[in-house]
Amino acid sequence: MSSELLEALRQGRKLVVVHSNADPDALGSAYAIASCFPPADIHAPEGLDRSGKALQQALGIELVEGFDPSDYDRMVLVDTSSPEQVLPLGEIPRGSVVIDHHLPNGRWEGMLFHCDDSKASCAEVVADILDEAGVTPPRDVALAMMVGMLTDSGHFQHGNPALMRRFASMMEVHGIAVDEVMAVTRAETGISERVAVLKGLQRSRFDRVGEHVVAVAYGSTYEASICRALLSSGADVAFVGSQREERFRVSARCSQRMVRNGLHLGRFLDELGGETLSEGGGHGGAAGITGEGDAEAVLHMCMSRAMEIFRGMRDSASQGI
């Protein structure tokens, strides 16, 4: 970790920015940076998702809406893999700090970029930064970070030893029980999300190679929730797309079994993004891609490539590789 990064966080007034439809990991990471390296404000360009809103309400985290860029000395972007995830901001000032844990894609040239893609959550990256700075977060900040760790790891389904050690350490230091963390994540599913998921399932289709099933669906909103519903219904990999005028967005999820078998959705969509002039990336078990084009066409490409991977897995298994 560079001393330049710590100095940038310690100096001046900062605007801490999270990605569109920000989740608890993004918000918890931003809250930690803003609280531990004041003065700073938090901005969510296109709001929070359901779980992010639950975390905001539980801890009373304040967000700024309209702002004057001249009021800030530096911008800090957390849990954001590319500029396209914060499009409403326009051009990001050179020299801004970017703290992330997704597979790097080279999209942050000219920024002070710090990424550790071995981490299951961005909150863990921020925790390492706080350790290096000699800062112990307040209890409410630690709770927000732990919620981020819990949710971004799929309630530990995608966790690793480093995540579990960090989570346990924060439990001990701050006296936070697991049920307290989980309580923050229990936001009631609204009727609009429930309807969107049901419509998404109606618009889904699937194919299979042996025991491996890939499903795709079209949904106008709540793509990630539809992905999870498809996995719960039996898919090993799910892709859900939406169209917003000339732009598309596709969310992808896969089972942890597929990740162990070698599938990395972040790399999968990063490669597809490079071929389609789109922006793709993410984690092994959860990723996304956005760009200009037709969502249905991209979904077709996702299904075709996933089927190729399944056939490769089948052939390797039959040959005993």
Per residue in 191-250, pLDDT tens?
999 999 999 999 999 999 999 999 999 988 889 899 999 999 999 999 999 998 899 999
Helix (H, G, I), strand (E, B) or coil at 249: strand
Question: What is the DSSP track for 109-145?
Answer: TTSEEEE-TTSSSHHHHHHHHHHHHT-PPPHHHHHHH
Domain boundary among the residues 184, 219, 244 is at 184
Looking at the structure, tell me whether residues 174 and 198 fall in a common domain.
Answer: no
pLDDT digits (tens, 9 = 90+) for 71-99: 999 999 999 988 888 988 888 999 999 99
Stated as kind and residue range, the H or E segment containing 208 is strand 205-209
Judgement on whether residues 114 and 139 belong to the same structural domain of the protein: yes
Indicate the residue among 124, 155, 184 that finishes a domain: 184
Whole-angstrom distance, CA of residue 13 vs CA of residue 16:
10
Q: Which residue type is seen at 51?
A: S
CA pair distance 2, 69, nearest whole angstrom: 26
Number of domains in the chain: 2
pTM listed for this prediction: 0.83
Please tell me whether residues 26 and 175 are part of one structural domain: yes
pLDDT in tens, 100-159: 999 888 889 999 999 999 999 999 999 999 999 999 999 999 999 999 999 999 899 888
Same domain, 71 and 171: yes
62 with 25, same domain: the answer is yes
The CATH number assigned to the domain holding 251 equals 3.10.310.30
What's the whole-number average pLDDT of the chain? 93
Same domain (yes/no): 62, 156: yes
Claim to verify: residue 21 and residue 96 sit in the same structural domain? yes
Q: Tell me the CB-side half-sphere exposure of residue 74, using CA atoms within 13 A.
A: 24
Could you tell me which of 84, 85, 78, 83 has the C-alpha nearest to residue 100?
A: 78
Give yes or no: residues 201 and 163 share one domain: no
Q: Calculate the alpha carbon distances from 224 to 72, 103, 220 in Å.
A: 33, 19, 11
What is the predicted pLDDT for the residue at 255?
Answer: 92
Q: Max CA-CA distance within the chain?
A: 63
Q: What is the pLDDT of residues 15-72, one digit of tens each?
A: 999 998 899 999 999 999 999 999 999 999 989 998 999 999 999 999 999 889 899 9
What pLDDT is attached to residue 314? Answer: 85
Residue 26 host element (H or E): helix 24-36
Same domain, 205 and 154: no
Boundary (domain end) residue, out of 159, 184, 209 = 184
User: For residue 204, what are its two tokens?
Assistant: 């889904």
Which residue has tokens 């219904």? 233
Name the residue range of residue 201's domain: 191-318
Do 169 and 195 belong together in one domain?
A: no
Please check whether residue 164 is in contact with residue 149, taking contact to mean a CB–CB distance below 8 angstroms: no
DSSP state letters, 70-95:
GG-SEEEEES--SGGGGGGG-SPPTT
